[in-house]
Amino acid sequence: MSLEAFNNRNVNEGDYFLVDIEDYPTDGWGKFKRVVKRTFKGELFVGLWVVLREMIKFDIHTVQYPEEKMPIGPRYRAVHEMKRLWESDAERCIGCGLCEKICISNCIRIDTRIDENSRKEVSEYSINLGRCIYCGYCAEVCPELAITHGGEYENASDQREHFIMYEDMLTPIDKMKAGAQLEFEGFGSITPHEDERVKKTPLAY
Amino acid sequence: MESAYLIETVIKIVVILLVFSALAGIGTYFERKILAFMQRRLGPSIVGPYGLLQVAADGIKLFTKEDIIPAGVVGRIFKIAPVITAATAFMAAAAIPFLPQFTIFGYTVHPIVADINVGILYILGVMAVGLYGPLLGGMASANKYSLISAARAAAVFISYEVVTGLAILAPIMMVGSLSLIDFNEYQAGGIGNWIVWSQPVAFILFWIAAFAETGRTPFHLIANDHEIIDGFGTEYSGMRWGLFFIGEYANMFFISFVIPLLFLGGFGDGSFLGALGLLAKVAFFFFFFLWTRAAWPDVRPDQLMWLCWKVLMPVAVINVVITGLVMMF
């Protein structure tokens, strides 16, 4: 549905009309007439008919939650996910620490070290989801689309520490091997048909 | 013969108590389901097939909950109040003929506990005593919401007793008896003989007053959830609250029996079809209680008083006078 009709506030055009409200009666006779009119107008039966009609139509709108779930938008900001590279199945995170830096509730802690190949490696990565406000800044600032928000909104555990585990956020390797990693489609993601829109730089450097 | 009568009466009392206690539970199930369907929801659907065992789950919950007597309440009155509500609701059932008489194993059963000759007066009186449940319960709880509810209950019940009595007076003048059996006999000839055709105003007035007497939705201000929590039931828990609940629903069922018996021919000529007809009428009136709850808003207490004293009571008096004049000439 177009929002045009709602966004246009110009009352001179469109379907706007003034509601016809009668003046309130001031004298007793006028009040009496209003009571009689309202009594025999049968507006109560309109209400009865509306609910009966809905019962007969039986157009139930209940979402039976644990069995059925509402689809959520790709930009929904629930528990974070750490993605892997499609090419090598390696973790995308390069340990730049931007997410830790921008996090306004200070819930991301990242630690890096230099591994045996003299490459930077993430040794420790945790998000305290008990403190996270799901603002989405970490996903927005990530240059590699490594940390994103997923759609997993059902969090329950017997220990608060369980909400911090990096292993739970990282795409499992078998899921990655099956090619089932869902790419984030929200803010900052690569727009579709990006390859066709790339142009050669006209200058020869 | 005397002992047979005694045994029969005791059996009838037990059956009525059991059936209507159970019906109160099933009534809540129907209320939830119908309200849900009218609001495009599903209602209870998890416990048992179609959520039918929800009633049992609620019953278990009510029976096993801790019985709390809060500090600051007037203990004895607080404890007796729910019993008054439930007991008066069931006492009113004594004079209601639930079905026409039938024969089982060669023994004729009259499905009425006591066919007293002042049946309607007795029912109205006992239902009026039911006022003491909310009134005492609300005043004994050390709670302002309960107190407001008690004041409203007293005002509403006493006001609408007047309307009920005056509305019923005109049919009583026509029939010349207070027994519900006599009312039924008077209308036994068929649909054309129903009192509703000769007393439509009394019928409407009695129906409106029934909503106030049972505290159902357009006049639900005694325990209005969005204003005064649960009114007189706020401080109650467990089975004491359950007794208020059973009393309210039993009252709804009994009023749903009384309206057809008074105005809509009751069980007619006493045949099997007539009995089914009575049950159908009762089902309609009970359904209407739920229907209005889904459709109509509540009125304010002052509007309720205005409606009672300035509209319904004068109309009822005029109706009685006109009936008397017509009968005289």
**What are the tens digits of pLDDT across the range A156-172?**
778 777 777 777 777 77
The per-residue pLDDT for A5 is 66
Q: Among A4-8, A116-120, A146-150, B227-231, where is mean pLDDT lowest?
A: A4-8
**Mean local confidence (pLDDT), A99-106:** 90
Distance CA A51, CA B193 (A): 33
Q: Give yes or no for B101 touching A (CB within 8 A).
A: no
**Quick check: B66 pLDDT over 80?**
yes
Kindly determine whether residue A60 and residue B40, on different chains, have CB atoms separated by under 8 Å.
Answer: yes
Do B59 and B48 contact (CB within 8 A), yes or no?
no
Q: How does pLDDT run across B68-79, given as a tens digit for each residue?
A: 888 888 888 888
pLDDT at site B321: 92
CB–CB contact B38 A54 (8 Å): yes
Residue B56 lies in a domain: no
Return the H-helix or E-strand segment holding B82.
helix B75-92
How does the average pLDDT of chain A come out, rounded?
Answer: 81
Average pLDDT, stretch B107-123? 79
Please state whether A106 falls in left (phi above 0), alpha (psi between -120 and 50) or beta.
left
- Helix and strand numbers (H, E) in chain B are 14, 2
Residues B125-143: tens digit of each pLDDT: 888 888 888 889 888 888 8
For residue A35, the chain B residues in CB contact (below 8 A) are: 311
Nearest Cα residue to A103 out of A119, A125, A122: A125
pLDDT for res B317: 92
**In this predicted structure, what is the pLDDT of residue A186?**
63
Choose from B30, B35, B40, B309 for mutation: most chain A CBs within 10 A: B40
CA distance B204 to chain A (A): 13
| Of the candidate ranges A70-74, B31-35, B57-61, B110-114, the one whose mean pLDDT is the lowest | B110-114
Side chain identity at residue B281, one-letter code: K
In a domain, B176, yes or no: yes
Write the burial class of residue B3 (CB in 10 Å: 0-12 exposed, 13-18 middle, 19+ buried).
exposed
Residue A1: pLDDT band with limits 50, 70, 90:
low
Residue of A nearest to B34 (CA): A55
Phi, psi of B308 (to 5 degrees): -70, -55
Size of interface A-B (CB pairs under 8 A): 37
Of A134-148, B152-166, B183-197, the range with the lowest mean pLDDT is B183-197
What is the spatial distance between Cα A87 and Cα A179, in angstroms, rounded to a whole number? Answer: 11
Give the range among A15-19, B29-33, B284-288 with minimum mean pLDDT: A15-19
| Residue of B37, B45, B296 lying closest to A44 (CB–CB) | B296
Q: Give the whole-number percent of chain B exceeding pLDDT 70.
A: 99
- What CATH number was assigned to the domain covering residues A80-181? 3.30.70.3270
**What is the pLDDT averaged over residues A126-145?**
86
Phi and psi at A125, nearest 5°, equal -145, 120
Start-to-end Cα distance in chain B: 47
Query: Residues 6 or more apart from A177 whose CB is under 8 A from it?
Result: A89
What tens digit of pLDDT does each residue of A27-39 get?
A: 889 888 888 888 8
pLDDT range class, residue A4, cuts 50, 70, 90: low
Check: pTM over 0.95? Answer yes or no.
no
Domain contains B42 = no
Across the interface, whether the CB atoms of B291 and A59 are under 8 A apart is answered no
pLDDT of residue B318: 92
pLDDT of residue B242: 86
Whether B41 sits inside 8 A of A59 (CB atoms) is: no
pLDDT at B103 over 80: no
The total domain count for chain B is 1
Interface touch B38/A59, C-beta < 8 Å: no
Note which residues in 43-62 of chain B have CB less than 8 A from chain A: 45
Burial of A16 per CB tally in 10 Å (0-12, 13-18, 19+): exposed
Contact call for A52 and B38, based on CB within 8 A: yes
Contact list in A for residue B45 (CB cut-off 8 A) is: 64
Q: Which amino acid type is present at position A6? A: F
Tokens of A38: 């309202």
Measure A179 CA to nearest chain B CA, in Å: 38
Q: Please state the rounded mean pLDDT for residues B36-52.
A: 87
Q: Closest Cα of chain A to B38: distance in Å? A: 5
Measured CA to CA, the distance from residue A32 to residue A25 in angstroms comes to 9
The pLDDT confidence band at residue B220, using thresholds 50, 70 and 90, is confident
Average pLDDT, whole number, for chain B? 85
Domain hosting residue B226, numbered range: 74-100+114-328
pLDDT at A188: 62
Neighbours of A23 (CB within 10 A): 6
Give ∠ CA A27-A28-A34 in degrees, rounded to 5.
95
pLDDT above 90 covers what percent of chain B? 4
Best mutation target, A32, A60, A68, to test chain B (most B CBs within 10 A): A60
Question: Are residues A47 and B296, on separate chains, in Cβ contact within 8 Å?
Answer: yes
**B148-170 burial: b if 16+ Cβ within 10 Å, else e:** bbbebbbbbbebbbbbbbbbbbb
For residue B108, pLDDT over 80 is answered with: no
Residue tagged 């009568």 (tokens): B5
Give every CB contact of residue B290 below 8 A, 6+ residues apart in sequence. B30, B31, B34, B35
- What residues of chain A lie within 8 A of the CB of B292, using their CB? 48
In a domain, residue B59? The reply is no
Tell me which residue has tokens 């998890």: B46
Q: What are phi and psi of B160, to 5 degrees?
A: -80, -15
Compute the nearest-CA separation of B224 from chain A (Å).
20
- Domain contains B105: no
**Helices B272-295 and A43-57 meet at what angle, rounded to 10?**
100
**Inside any domain, residue B207:** yes
Look at A35 and B311 and tell me if their CB atoms are within 8 Å. yes
